[in-house]
A and B are shown apart, each in its own frame.
Chain A
Amino acid sequence: MAPGFAVSRKKPKIMVLLALLFLANLAGAADGKPLVFGVLNQQSPALTAERWNPILHYLGVATGLTFQLRMGRTVQETDAMMGRGEFDLVYTNHNFQREFDGAYKVIARWSGEPIRCVIAVPADSPLRALQSLQGRRVAFPSREAFVGYAVPKVALSSAGVRVEEVFSGNQEGALAQLKARQVEAAAVNSRFLQQYAEREGLQYRDLYVSEPFLELPVIAHSRLPRDKVEAIRRALLGMRHDEKAGDLLLKLKFSGFEAADDRQYDNVRRTYRLIGE
């Protein structure tokens, strides 16, 4: 079991901390202090800042509010910060884990086609079914990855298959190990697999493809005043139509945010529940 998931057993303490932070943040928000915007560790903090600081600057201009990017050094730290209520807004789907669920609400999501988890084997692999992976070496990006680990882990568990887990650090490393025949299969997201196969000439075959999962949402803490949340949501959704954000979106190769709500992420929530079990 990963450390991040162990936090769920300390729920009473976290709830107390969240309550304290909630009160502190309420005071901070009332004082006009910057709203703390957390971002899940999908990239290094520097790259995360390169991507999100311009967006936060835009949001500040659009809403008249002030935002401050903050994140932990690791996913666990960021999740812990989220659990402690240190963020007013977060870009993550880890809030759908049982221990964090409820404190934040989805106000928008990163645009883009849904992604799926794919467990791929080389095209000439004799493995033909998920069950054939029993006891085989399977590469995963990291233990914290949702599509890259939580989803395939649930699928494999459901199929009663236990594999030798090999963590490669990221999606690229998992597929590189597959290409080098260091592992029998690799669990990655469908979008990255397609890009990698085209780029590296990887001939692969799907053993498993999950249901689609939406891109990560932007969630707001329930302590934030409704008008501010609404203003932020409007700004996020209006970004793709705002000419002032044109250069920014072009630079980030990003088409903007789309409307979303909590129910659209029930499959995520369900997956976390299953893996938690």
Chain B
Amino acid sequence: MKRTRLQARVLLLAIGVILATSLLDLASTAYVQVRDAEKRMADQARSIGSALVPSLQNDLVVGDLATAQQTLDRVQRHAAFKRLDLLDAASDKVLLAGRQAEDAAGENGVPDWFAGLIDIRPPPLSIPIQAGGVQYGVLLVEPSPALLERDLWRHLWLAALLSLITLAVVLPLFILTLRGGLKPLRELAASARKFGAGDYSRRAPDSTVREIAQTARAFNLMADNIQTLLGQLRASNATNRRLAVIVEQSGEIILTLNNAGIITSWNDGARRTLGYTAEEAIERNIAFLLPEPSEDETGLLARPFPDARHGERHETRFRTRDGRIRDIVLGLAPLMGEDGQRIGLICIGRDFTERKRIQDEIRRINAELEQRVQERTAELEAANQELEAFSYTVSHDLRAPLRAMNGFSKLVEEDAGDALSEQSRHMLRRIHAASVKMEHLIEELLKLARLGRQELQRDDANLSRIAEEIHADLAETQPERRISWHIEPGLTARADRVLIKSALDNLLRNAWKFTSKREDAEISFTSSKQGNETVYCVRDNGAGFNPACADKLFLPFQRLHKAEQFEGTGIGLATVHRIVKRHGGRIWAEGAVDEGAAFWFTLP
């Protein structure tokens, strides 16, 4: 492509425009002049013709053709008309013809081509000469274009001369102005060249020419952006290099596959773990690492992942270059292209052969331990069952001799009571009471034993209602007692209704019993929140207990009060403890002697 300077182009354009404008101006002027001249000539012909008519009328009316000839000659002397003739009215023959002066005729200096170009042909004018309805002749006036052609020809030369003078004057000024106007453009081009050569700090200078100033600003903005992008690119490259070093020097196996399972990258960690160099591994299918390649496993490595953001964990086994089999855990993540399509797979793996061996050993030991626990538990359960069966059997079997002792002691008293001394009858009554007490004790033991065998039936239990029922039963046994009861309404728990009623019955009966010696007895059943846990509380202001013995409260047959003060078997709190434990809960007590007691329990 031929390149020319902008200045030369603009200069040529300006010259062309000036010449074209001059030519157009000349042509339009000539056209207008020709048209005006034609009209003017027609007007002049009409005017002069009309001016001649009265004179010619007089001449023709009196028949004075000589005077008419003189009149025509006088007008035509300066060759103003091509023809100035007087025609006969009837025959159109020329009666008189205006004659030009000899010096008027001649060349007008106009070349034929110019006359042909402008082509001035004013139409002839015929003016009838009549008076009183009688036509005496016709005056034929045909304007001559010679003078107009001469004027136009002179005007052409004058216009050409003026155009040349205009060019001579305007062009130097135009060139100076153009050079001044193009200077900022050249500076802009120089800035662009230096910027392109690597001088990114280079900027285009401002200009007073608005369009160039806009271009300079646009260039500077572009340069700023490019410089910023280059900075970001350098930073990105540095980051990429660091990441590449990290990847390369990582102890992990880091490799990438394409969608066909072909290895496309291979880091030094992979080399150290598997023994293959990058040159040996890249361009090979991942299957060469698998000891027993299967379609499932190679397909897995090439399949698309539903979630592109998260990888998957996959355990496999790779064969090393020296033939060893290594357990490898791989983190698999899809490798996405710029268009969002998966182009491959990123595999980050670790040799966990040793760890897997240790894990397997731990798993084996745990299994053995579990086996042992199960065996011991089964043995323990069997022992417990035997113990419970033994206790039950013993308790059950003990009841028969007790009933015998009870019955026979009553019979002895009834049959030989009178024969016996008061001391003997007293001993008999003590034997009878002891047997009753022992039977009651055995009964409680049986209940406690049954708790261990009974299966839990959890249900929604209304604890408040259960407490109210127990309260009613107790009040019925001793209606004369005045006790202040406070049972919080709406207390519920997911628990075995029968067992929980038994527990609450034991706790509330204890409270009833240990407040029997107080006039202002108070018993309450409430709850509170401790963290996420609901803690239920049965509180009284009765005899209380020694806090130092609190850890013995829930052991069977443990009594902290003398039997003559408060009767009891020592089994009740043990039963409550077992019920709460079977529900997975906890129970504890707080109290002091003569200051009442509080029993807390939870039912998860």
Contact = CB atoms under 8 A, between A and B. Distances in A.
Given A45-B58, A46-B58, A53 B63 contact: no
Among A44, A49, A52, A72, the most chain B Cβ lie within 10 Å of the Cβ of A49
Contacts of B134: 49, 53, 57, 69
Contacts of A70: 62-63
A149 B57 CA distance: 29
A53 B131 contact: yes
Interface residues of A, number: 17
Contact of B131 (A50, A73, A77): A50
B133 A45 contact: no
Interface in B57-104: 57-59, 61-64, 67
Contacts of B63: 70
A46 B61 contact: yes
B132 interface: yes
A45 B61 contact: yes
B131 A72 contact: no
Given A46-B54, A49-B57, A73 B132 contact: no
A71 B133 contact: no
B132 A52 contact: yes
B133 A48 contact: no
A51 B132 contact: yes
Nearest to B64: A73
A207 to B, nearest CB: 36
Contacts of A72: 62
Contact of B62 (A51, A54, A73): A73
A259 B347 CA distance: 149
B170 to A, nearest CB: 61
A72 B62 CA distance: 6
Interface string A65-79: 000011111000100
A69 B61 contact: yes
Contacts of B57: 45-46, 49
A125 to B, nearest CB: 38
A45 B62 contact: yes
A164 to B, nearest CB: 32
B132 A54 contact: yes
Nearest to A70: B63
Interface string B10-41: 00000000000000000000000000000000
Nearest to B55: A46
Contacts of B64: 73
Contact of B61 (A48, A54, A77): A48
Interface string B109-137: 00000000000000000000001111000
A53 B57 CA distance: 13
Contacts of A46: 54, 57-58, 61, 131
Nearest to B54: A46
A44 B67 CA distance: 15
A48 B67 CA distance: 18
For chain B, the bracket of interface size reads 10 to 19
B60 to A, nearest CB: 8
Contacts of B54: 44, 46
B58 A50 contact: no
A254 B63 CA distance: 27
Nearest to A77: B62
Among B59, B61, B67, B134, the most chain A Cβ lie within 10 Å of the Cβ of B61
A71 B61 CA distance: 8
Contacts of A54: 132-133
Contacts of B62: 45, 70-73, 77
A72 B63 CA distance: 9
A51 B61 CA distance: 12
B56 to A, nearest CB: 9
A188 to B, nearest CB: 25
Interface string A240-270: 0000000000000000000000000000000
B391 to A, nearest CB: 172
Contacts of A77: 62
A180 to B, nearest CB: 28
A57 B61 contact: no
Contacts of B132: 49-54, 57, 69
A71 B133 CA distance: 17
A44 B58 contact: yes
A71 B62 CA distance: 5
A48 B134 CA distance: 12
A48 B136 CA distance: 14
A71 B60 CA distance: 10
B58 A53 contact: no
A57 B133 CA distance: 9
B367 to A, nearest CB: 153
B304 to A, nearest CB: 117
A20 to B, nearest CB: 19
Interface in A48-64: 48-54, 57
A48 B61 CA distance: 9
B48 to A, nearest CB: 17
A183 to B, nearest CB: 29
Interface string B132-156: 1110000000000000000000000
Interface in B575-593: none
Nearest to B58: A45
Nearest to A78: B62
A135 B58 CA distance: 38
A52 B61 CA distance: 11
Nearest to B132: A53
Nearest to B61: A45
B65 to A, nearest CB: 12
B595 to A, nearest CB: 159
A51 B57 CA distance: 13
A54 B59 CA distance: 19
A73 B246 CA distance: 134
Contacts of A52: 132
A252 to B, nearest CB: 10
Interface in A13-66: 44-46, 48-54, 57
A52 B131 CA distance: 9
Contacts of A50: 131-132
A58 to B, nearest CB: 10
Nearest to A55: B132
A137 B271 CA distance: 152
A44 B59 CA distance: 10
Among A52, A53, A54, A72, the most chain B Cβ lie within 10 Å of the Cβ of A53
Nearest 4 pairs between A and B by C-beta?
A53-B132, A49-B131, A46-B57, A45-B61
Given A45-B58, A48-B61, A69-B61, 15 more contacts: A44-B54, A45-B62, A46-B54, A46-B57, A46-B61, A46-B131, A49-B61, A49-B131, A49-B132, A49-B134, A50-B132, A53-B131, A54-B132, A70-B63, A72-B62
23 contacts: A44-B58, A45-B57, A45-B58, A46-B57, A46-B58, A46-B131, A48-B61, A49-B131, A49-B132, A49-B134, A50-B131, A51-B132, A52-B132, A54-B133, A57-B133, A57-B134, A69-B61, A69-B132, A70-B62, A70-B63, A71-B62, A73-B62, A73-B64
Interface of B: 54, 57-59, 61-64, 67, 131-134
